[in-house]
Structure 1
């Protein structure tokens, strides 16, 4: 019997182990170049005390250490904004996932030409710039010429003439939530519909034979099959909605009141409206850390789902 040389086998094994890292290296390097440097500069700025003098002269700002972090973490208004951001994110994500699931299930039931039309509409909405969507919703909720006030005024006993939806922050955030959900539902619905198409027909047919109908069929057959995709969509929506900025900024005409501050708006305002650049950077760093915490939870859920399958 001949003997096999272990060295070629070891080299092949080593190449197989290194190959995935080589393939992903260009992407990692590109992300490090595009995102790594600005993030490192942001963290550095949060430990300094940048003022207009240093900004315009190019001088190195004095070192402030943890002063800005101590200031914002001991500020009650900061924690009010954190709670408001978390509540806003929870409402937006819940509404987005629920509506997207309903749309995806509907697309599965309708005729092919209707499904094609729905997909086209969803893609058109998804491609719509945020500025256009915000302008449309500002017109719909306008106090003088808004369609929403006109429609509600047609109902008996309701008078919404000249009603300002943004005078009350709860009503104003309802309109802003509509803008956010409107822009996110297309991606979530198309993704969930793609996952629904991967469910074998035999599974649902067997469940129907066993007497499963309606919600029971969805709970015990449909949802478990698309759960990884649902977790992915929910996590991505949570990350996007937690950092909402454009919708609030545009809906409030570039001058959002403090009652409309979320973390992204708060950081931007502290940096460029109040000129507390380092304090704004510290708020942004804390926001990034919170988002990283959410990303870790998301990755762990995906790993757990992969291990259970």
Structure 2
């Protein structure tokens, strides 16, 4: 310090009078501007306030049925209790032990898992191929294809099931007619549903046909986010078409592909209407998946508690898939 500095004495404090500071409050090292902490708290609460109506609506629609399902699964609800309103007797875990000890339940579960895996694999494979193809089409052709996909996607399930029933009809079906022209007349009058494997083949076509449009549109939207500069640079560096897709395209669309595949697993695991309509509202036991098996136990065998117990087990099986889906959503949000 110089002599002039020592003579100057201690530093003069900064005035805090609003008139001197021009109406501005001094900064605080901990909180910043006055009111910043309050604004931050309001900003943190805003997302929760925005989704609150959706949470209330979902709770109002699903909370009561779910709680009723849980309660009924521990009771022995029959026609008498249902019609008279008498309280059903509590049986504890008896419904679950009976179901888990029934070999038919495990066969139905195995059939459901295999059916779901085939449907999801075909849906995601065809959807990805069509989405990649759309990148190479001209604008007008791509718009026409998109319109056709949306039209197929928006078609009511009952109408689509009627079309597929006609196509697979044993007497007048288009499928039998085309095969008969190629193979021989023996295919005329062939009943596809006598063999459950062939019958599930028709059902799989209906499920995949209705699910592919959503997958194609979603994956194509993800493909539009792939930087073309990176793909061109990889090609110039000598990468093959597969190499460009593997190291440039796939990492970009992988989060979207994973989420769509997870949703497809949930949807195809719960397939009900397609089987119900194609089998004329009376599916044979060989065509029962977990949803139909639960319905059969509840309304055809009048064992409502057993049907709700099967539905609850299905929810528990899908809860793992739902948790995985939520984790993927959270990871995607963190990346973004």
Q: Same fold (TM over 0.5)?
A: yes
Match for residue 237 of structure 2?
210
The offset of 1:216, in angstroms, is 2.2
Structure 2 unpaired stretches of 5+:
1-13, 15-25
Q: Of 24, 40, 43, which aligns to 1:13?
A: 40
Q: Are 1:25 and 2:76 an aligned pair?
A: no
Match for residue 4 of structure 2?
none
Match for residue 69 of structure 1?
96
Instruction: Give distance in 2, aligned partners of 1:271 and 1:86.
Output: 22
1:46, 1:279 within 8 Å by CA — same for their partners in 2? Answer: yes
Greater gyration radius: 2
Match for residue 118 of structure 1?
145
Instruction: Give distance in 2, aligned partners of 1:77 and 1:43.
Output: 22
Match for residue 299 of structure 1?
326
The offset of 1:13, in angstroms, is 2.6
The offset of 1:157, in angstroms, is 5.5
SS at match of 1:109: coil
Instruction: Give distance in 2, aligned partners of 1:24 and 1:52.
Output: 40
Q: For residues 73-109 of structure 1, give each alpha carbon's deviation from its aligned partner in whole angstroms, at most 9, with x where no partner exists.
A: 1111101111111111110000000100111111111
Change beyond 3 A, Cα 1:294–1:250: same
Instruction: Give distance in 2, aligned partners of 1:213 and 1:190.
Output: 26
The offset of 1:9, in angstroms, is 3.1
Q: Are 1:274 and 2:301 an aligned pair?
A: yes
The offset of 1:27, in angstroms, is 1.1
**TM, length-normalised to structure 2:** 0.88
1:152, 1:159 within 8 Å by CA — same for their partners in 2? Answer: no
Match for residue 52 of structure 1?
79
1:1-309 to structure 2, matched below 5 A, reads 1=14, 2=26, 4=28, 6=31, 8-156=35-183, 159-304=186-331
Instruction: Give distance in 2, aligned partners of 1:261 and 1:53.
Output: 27
2:134, 2:220 within 8 Å by CA — same for their partners in 1? Answer: yes
The offset of 1:62, in angstroms, is 1.2
2:153, 2:211 within 8 Å by CA — same for their partners in 1? Answer: yes
Change beyond 3 A, Cα 1:192–1:152: same
Q: For residues 202-251 of structure 1, give each alpha carbon's deviation from its aligned partner in whole angstroms, at most 9, with x where no partner exists.
A: 01111110122332222221111101110111011110000000000001
Instruction: Give distance in 1, aligned partners of 2:167 and 2:248.
Output: 40
2:259, 2:328 within 8 Å by CA — same for their partners in 1? Answer: no
Instruction: Give distance in 1, aligned partners of 2:248 and 2:40.
Output: 41
Instruction: Give distance in 2, aligned partners of 1:126 and 1:175.
Output: 18
